[in-house]
Amino acid sequence: MYYAYVVRSESTGKIYIGQTEDKDKRLRQHNDINFDRRSYTKLNKGPWKLVYQEQYETREEALRREKYLKSHHGRDWLRNVMVR
């Protein structure tokens, strides 16, 4: 299974949209100070909390949904779905 997901920074309120095969591992990576300090989700923006996810059979489907969620229309849709 693959996932399109949204995490929100508990310190800034900013969101990050991505896709992964292992959402628990990916969330740990977002919050790990030693993972990728150049990443958008680097330490000074966290901690990050999983706030939305969708499950897909293939990576292609998850990538397609991630791309939509990152679009203007997708972000509008997320604002209507997610409770802030």
pLDDT tens figures, 27-56: 988 888 776 666 776 666 778 999 999 999
- What is the C-alpha separation between 40 and 14, in angstroms, rounded? 10
Mean pLDDT computed over every residue of the chain: 88
Pairing state between β 48-56 and 15-20:
unpaired
Q: pLDDT-derived band of residue 82, with 50, 70 and 90 as boundaries?
A: confident
- What is the C-alpha separation between 58 and 37, in angstroms, rounded? 29
pLDDT of residue 81: 86
Q: pLDDT-derived band of residue 66, with 50, 70 and 90 as boundaries?
A: very high
For the domain bounded by 2-81, which CATH number is listed?
3.40.1440
- What is the C-alpha separation between 84 and 73, in angstroms, rounded? 18
Burial class (CB in 10 A: 0-12, 13-18, 19+), 63: middle
Least reliable range by pLDDT among 2-6, 8-12, 52-56: 8-12
3-state secondary structure of 15: strand
